[in-house]
Amino acid sequence: MIIPQETINELKRAAAGTGYSCWISVIAEKQGILTHELPSISKPSNNPADISRKLNARIAPLGWHIVKRIKTRPNESWAWYLLPIESEVQA
């Protein structure tokens, strides 16, 4: 799914102040990015799930959310997607 740059910019503005708004661009550009790849794009965090909850609280009113899915095994890195709320990850 290609997300228009205007939409990405709007979502980043909504996520401003979290310290992780850049995750919006990276996840949009690389749908399915793995958890262990995310901390290298901004300030480190040992709790990416909490960050996604904070981001989702800001972007959900705009009709978007970050979805995490198991890509291999539950104890390995999960894949992250930026999707419209009514969408699901395609297998």
pLDDT above 70 as % of the chain: 85
Digit-coded pLDDT (tens) for 27-53: 999 999 988 887 666 666 667 888 899
Q: At residue 23, does pLDDT exceed 60?
A: yes
d(CA 22, CA 46): 17
> Which amino acid, 34?
L
Q: What percent of the chain has pLDDT over 90?
A: 52
Q: Look at residues 87, 82, 88 and name the one whose alpha carbon lies nearest to residue 25.
A: 82
Phi, psi of 68 (to 5 degrees): -115, 135
Q: Which tokens go with 58? A: 């800001």
Q: How many CB atoms lie within 10 A of CB 16?
A: 9
pTM over the 0.85 mark: no
DSSP structure class, residue 61: G
